[in-house]
Amino acid sequence: MMEKESMCDQNKLRDIEYNYKTIEENISAAAIKSGRSREDITFLAATKTVEPVYINHAISLGLKYIGENRVQELLSKYESYDLENASLHFIGHLQSNKVRQIINKVDLIQSVDSVKLSNEISRQSKLNNTDCDVLIEVNIGGEESKSGIQPEQLTELLYEISELDNVHVKGLMSIPPICDSKTEIRKYFLQMHKLFVDIKSKKIDNVDMKFLSMGMSSDYEEAILEGANMVRLGSALFGPRIYV
């Protein structure tokens, strides 16, 4: 009989352990450098293309948050995640007609960028007798090809969402443009942090600026230095993605 453990690559499990420790140290160091502590920063693993056995291994090491990008992939892996010990977020572009499929499965949707999508989240939440926490995705670089609300339209969107039942804004999320230098990317992170502080000061009903989700494998330390309190890491934890 083959044991479950031997079905997966032992070297990969060891790599994940090593990477997890390194990331924890780096997050701590960046948090302290920015006047905060490790507990102030939430580490979410972006798990697209990663098999559940590896995701659950990371959870066994202490990982508390995981995020999927695609509805189909989330559904196919859903039964295998160790969700007793971790919280599942949706972090990818979401079409309104797919909200129904994930509403009872995720704890938070990080990628809300329109009234239409918010309305559908509200409607489906009510139908399912549940509530849904969301982050608003901001297109901080103003890139045409990217999803996310334009910074100038953020406040208006927040006022509209604040009126909806069963939807609760918990912060902002962003994926800045690809930059040649750390100095350049820090400018986008800084702009996001300004928006975050600005919105917080408006004290909009039903809008809680708790999470500022920004920073990925190549730039999470810079993001933390500029005020991020949630980072989303894929390849730094699991290694390069293998698309099949």
Applying CB under 6 A, the residues found at the interface with ligand PLP are 46, 48, 69, 91-92, 175, 216-217, 232-236
Closest CB to ligand PLP among 182 and 202?
Answer: 182
CA 188 to chain centre: 17
CB of 6 to ligand PLP, least distance (A): 27
86/56 Cα distance (integer angstroms): 9
17/237 Cα distance (integer angstroms): 8
Closest CB to ligand PLP among 204 and 216?
Answer: 216
CB of 164 to ligand PLP, least distance (A): 23
Closest CB to ligand PLP among 45 and 169?
Answer: 45
Closest CB to ligand PLP among 129 and 243?
Answer: 243
CB of 231 to ligand PLP, least distance (A): 9
Closest CB to ligand PLP among 92 and 177?
Answer: 92
CB of 213 to ligand PLP, least distance (A): 8
CB of 156 to ligand PLP, least distance (A): 24
Closest CB to ligand PLP among 86 and 236?
Answer: 236
CB of 96 to ligand PLP, least distance (A): 18
Closest CB to ligand PLP among 164 and 214?
Answer: 214
Which residue minimizes CB distance to ligand PLP? 234
Q: Which of 210, 205, 230 is nearest to 220 (CA)?
A: 230
CB of 5 to ligand PLP, least distance (A): 26
